[in-house]
Amino acid sequence: DVKVTQSSRYLVKRTGEKVFLECVQDMDHENMFWYRQDPGLGLRLIYFSYDVKMKEKGDIPEGYSVSREKKERFSLILESASTNQTSMYLCASSYLREGPEETQYFGPGTRLLVL
Amino acid sequence: AQTVTQSQPEMSVQEAETVTLSCTYDTSESDYYLFWYKQPPSRQMILVIRQEAYKQQNATENRFSVNFQKAAKSFSLKISDSQLGDAAMYFCAYRRSGGYQKVTFGTGTKLQVIP
């Protein structure tokens, strides 16, 4: 079974704090993704990475950065947390190649509250 | 830019009945993939079903099937013999063919199953 784990299920931070969200996958997937999920807005892509040290902006990268130093680990960084970054954050991973095996595997999510 | 629209924020179905969730998308591409993902309450998101645009045959997975209308850019999900465990948020998603492509998600449909 593919496992995608996220470092925290719930997190409470103060405005202005630097926040790290960690994601680890154990399937040697090339692709990794960070989404935020908000009611009525669905999943919106923040950043994705298709290789170590590679990153691509998604649809809403402002206020976020990412780091991928190892293939299995993809970190999302909020440089200075703001209240509008209160959300559910989902990490996902997938193989780079297309085909019947193609699917995104999701982590359990981190619910972040910024006060 | 590709967009995915789910016009039904919430739906309900009686146990053992059939329900259809709607999804439309907008793209100028001819080769792409479509997905339905399921997110049960407080549980991880999982892939339900996948369709390649070049295949005319509709995908099926046990009680789940799709009605893929390429010309109309429509991709609905039919759940037969609904079970209590089908209660979840369902997300329609689109991915363009080719490497390094992101997935675009709809806003989701919350399905309630009534015993």
A63-73 pLDDT, tens digit each: 999 999 999 99
User: Above 70 in pLDDT, residue A17?
Assistant: yes
Residue B99's pLDDT band (cuts 50, 70, 90): low
Chain A, window 38-97: residues with a beta carbon less than 8 angstroms from a chain B beta carbon: 40-45, 48, 50, 56, 58, 90, 92, 96-97
C-alpha span between B81 and B16 (Å, rounded): 4
CB contact under 8 A, A98 and B46: no
Interchain contact A108–B (C-beta under 8 A)? yes
- Answer with the residue of higher pLDDT: B93 or A100: B93
- Computed over every residue of chain B, the mean pLDDT equals 93
Residue of B nearest to A100 (CA): B50
pLDDT (0 to 100) of residue B42: 83
Q: Is B55 a residue whose pLDDT tops 90? A: no
Q: 3-state secondary structure string, chain B?
A: CCEEECCCCEEEEECCCCEEECCEEECCCCCEEEEEEEECCCCCCEEEEEEECCCCCCCEECCEEEEEECCCCEEEEEECCCCHHHCEEEEEEEEECCCCCCEEECCCEEEEEEC
Would you call B108 and A42 a contact, using CB atoms and an 8 Å cutoff? yes
Q: Answer yes or no: is pLDDT of B44 > 70.
A: yes
* A110 touching B (Cβ < 8 Å): no
pLDDT at A2: 67
pLDDT over threshold 90, residue B49:
yes
Q: What is the pLDDT of residue B96?
A: 86
Distance (Å, whole) CA A35 – CA B6 = 18
Residue A47 has pLDDT above 90, yes or no: yes
**In terms of Cα–Cα distance, which of B23, B30, B28 is closest to B8?**
B23
Instruction: Return mean pLDDT, chain A.
Output: 92
Two structure tokens written together for B71: 């010309």
Measured between CB atoms, does A109 come within 8 Å of chain B?
A: yes
Q: How far is CA B6 from CA A91, B35, B76, B104, in A?
A: 22, 13, 10, 12
